[in-house]
Amino acid sequence: MKIYQVDAFTQEPFKGNPAAVCILNEIKDEEWMQAVAQEMNLSETAFLYPEKDGYDLRWFTPAAEVDLCGHATLASAHALWENGYLNLDQQARFYTKSGLLTALVRGDWIELNFPAEPEKETDPPEEIIKAIGAKPIYTGRNRLDYLFEYETEDIIRGLAPDFSFLGSILGYRGVIVTSKSKLESYDFVSRYFAPGVGINEDPVTGSAHCCLGPFWKQKLGKNPLTGLQVSRRTGVVKVSVEGERVLLMGRAVTVLKGELTA
């Protein structure tokens, strides 16, 4: 079975968020997929199997299966087009635990059509604030994550969470931290922490932008928007909110091609 490693939400190798993409030639069970994800030891490994007019798509961290992942979907679409599984003018269609997701080539960019995941304001959870290390000016929550807004980008960049403590108390997939960008090229910045599913800090998180897009659209009165995820690797995500859907745009580059022998 073919496997690819793709850096997503970047056009530079060794930037953005790496994902493994495994093209299955037979159906595999969850235990096998989890073992492969642990072996790859990346934030996500995507497994694709041809189905109907598209592909069944599942995502695994080294520790658990997740319901929605943007960067590994971007990586999957990129791998399908680059390696001839789909023609460049064909839509990539993925059947997932979050419904049908689609992707299109838009020049040098790939456009993903994802469900919007808007947050609702909630009381700030004191233990999580303690683990993150700074009190936000706003706290929201959706079905996947908490969202913490801070006053400045410098606060976002300087956060050093207690991941062991955070992973033991979270009860949700992760925490998005965000602020308005101090650079004119970007509208907002973010980071994403999810130690409870085996990822202390995710380099670039497409699915978090399903929340960040609606949040910053309302706050800034602007659509589309451009977000910069300020992890060590960094990555750029363009977001357009279209009703109950969001269009996420990113670039990708393949850094490894191989074959699974086990």
DSSP assigned state of 261: -
Strand-strand pairing, 145-149 and 138-141: antiparallel
Determine whether 259 is an active site residue: no
Helix (H) or strand (E) holding 93: strand 92-96
Spot the catalytic one: 44, 111, 149, 153: 44
Beta-carbon contacts of residue 30 (< 8 Å; ≥ 6 apart)? 65
Q: Give the length of the chain.
A: 262
- Give the distance from CA 32 to its chain's centroid: 23
Count the Cβ atoms, other than its own, within 10 Å of residue 7. 27
| Cβ proximity of 73 and 94 under 8 Å | yes
Quote the CA–CA distance of 74 and 106 in Å, as a whole number. 13
The pair of structure tokens assigned to 177 is 């931290």
Rounded Cα distance, 90 and 229, in Å: 29
Instruction: Report the greatest alpha carbon distance in the chain.
Output: 51
* Burial group, residue 2, by CB count within 10 angstroms (0-12, 13-18, 19+): middle
Rounded CA-CA distance 206/9 in Å is: 8
Q: Residues with catalytic annotation?
A: 44
